[in-house]
């Protein structure tokens, strides 16, 4: 897993956005890396600390991720 310890300060690497397919740099502003790991539930809700994170060679623009999770307006009409 060559990307495990890749930091923003590492030399810029060419990567491809999983959603739009456009090339970008791994450390460019607005680029996210897919990470898996353990997250503890908090009493107050939410969880933002990942224990033992595993970073994957999977990248996306944050804007593309947000587009992907926009509610489907047809579903809103059905269930809203
Ligand atoms: Zn994209």
**pLDDT tens digit string along 26-53?**
999 999 999 999 988 888 877 778 899 8
SS3 79: helix
Q: Residue 30: inside a domain, yes or no?
A: yes
Q: Is the pTM of this model over 0.85?
A: no
Q: Residue 4: inside a domain, yes or no?
A: no
Q: Residue 1: inside a domain, yes or no?
A: no
Cα 61 to ligand 1 centroid, rounded to whole Å: 4
> Which domain, by its residues, includes 33?
14-79
Distance (Å, rounded) from C-alpha 70 to C-alpha 16?
22
Q: Residue 31: inside a domain, yes or no?
A: yes
Provide the sign of the torsion angle of the four alpha carbons 12, 13, 16, 22, taken in this order: positive
- Residue 41 CA to its chain's centroid (Å): 20
Q: Which residues surround ligand 1, an ion (CB under 5 A)?
A: 17, 19-20, 61, 64
Q: Residue 26: inside a domain, yes or no?
A: yes
Cβ atoms of 36 and 23 within 8 Å: the answer is no
Cα 76 to ligand 1 centroid, rounded to whole Å: 25
Q: What percent of the chain has pLDDT over 70?
A: 75
Question: What's the total number of domains in the chain?
Answer: 1
């Amino acid at each position: 897993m060559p990307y495990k310890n890749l930091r923003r300060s590492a030399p810029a690497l060419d990567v491809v956005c999983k959603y739009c397919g456009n090339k970008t740099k791994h450390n460019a502003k607005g680029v996210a890396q897919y990470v898996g790991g353990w997250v503890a539930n908090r009493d107050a809700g939410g969880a933002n600390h990942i224990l033992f994170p595993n970073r994957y060679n999977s990248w996306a623009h944050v804007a593309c991720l947000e587009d992907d999770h926009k509610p489907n307006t047809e579903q809103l009409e059905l269930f809203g």
